């Protein structure tokens, strides 16, 4: 399962610059589909000269595996990566539904580095407890 955010003012397409984004929609994505799991709105702010505007957005996105944006500055990239959130720049006309389908498919087939890393980190985080759970279910190796 991946938690993905999309900078969007219409919840249909990625159409916002990260620093000036007025809204993010968050989806929980599995190889079989996705569900909306959150939405955040932010006041309109000037794009340049206000680094503090990034903090609330970065904090809101903590816990997400990736954020899809139309554009993003170097400072925001650095702050997101420090929180473990992979920024992904896409075209302004990119449909959220199409991006989710692409991610779901990549979760099944592999080969997309940031997705593979996020899923591997989740497996490592599950740790030895996942083996105990499999044993309790009757799994045999």
Q: What share of the chain is helix, strand, coil (3-state, %, to 5)?
A: 40, 25, 35
Nearest 5°: CA angle at 113, between 112 and 115? 70
Packing angle of the helix pair 74-82, 52-61 (nearest 10 deg): 40
Predicted model pTM: 0.84
pLDDT tens figures, 5-47: 999 999 999 999 998 899 999 999 999 999 999 999 988 764 5
Segments in 15-112 forming alpha helices (H): 52-61, 74-82, 96-109
How far is Cα 105 from Cα 107, in angstroms, rounded to an integer? 5
What mean pLDDT do residues 75-100 have? 93
pLDDT of residue 7: 96
Segments in the chain forming alpha helices (H): 52-61, 74-82, 96-109, 113-126, 129-136
Residue the block writes with tokens 């989740």? 122
Sequence spans of domains, the chain: 2-136
Of the pLDDT bands very low, low, confident and very high (cuts 50, 70, 90), residue 122 is: confident
The CATH architecture of the domain made up of 2-136 is 2-Layer Sandwich (3.30)
């Amino acid at each position: 399962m991946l938690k993905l955010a999309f900078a969007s003012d219409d919840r249909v397409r990625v159409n916002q610059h990260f620093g000036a984004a007025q809204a993010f929609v968050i989806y929980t994505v599995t190889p079989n589909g996705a569900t909306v799991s959150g939405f955040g709105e932010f006041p309109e702010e000037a794009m340049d000269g206000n680094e503090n505007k990034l903090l609330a957005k970065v904090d809101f996105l903590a816990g997400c595996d990736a954020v899809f944006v139309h554009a993003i500055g170097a400072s925001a990239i650095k702050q997101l990566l420090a929180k473990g959130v992979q920024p992904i720049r896409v075209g302004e006309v990119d449909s959220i539904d199409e991006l989710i389908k692409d991610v779901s498919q990549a979760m099944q087939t592999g080969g997309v580095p940031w997705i593979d890393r996020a899923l591997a980190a989740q497996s490592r985080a599950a740790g030895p407890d996942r083996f105990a759970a499999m044993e309790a279910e009757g799994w045999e190796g």
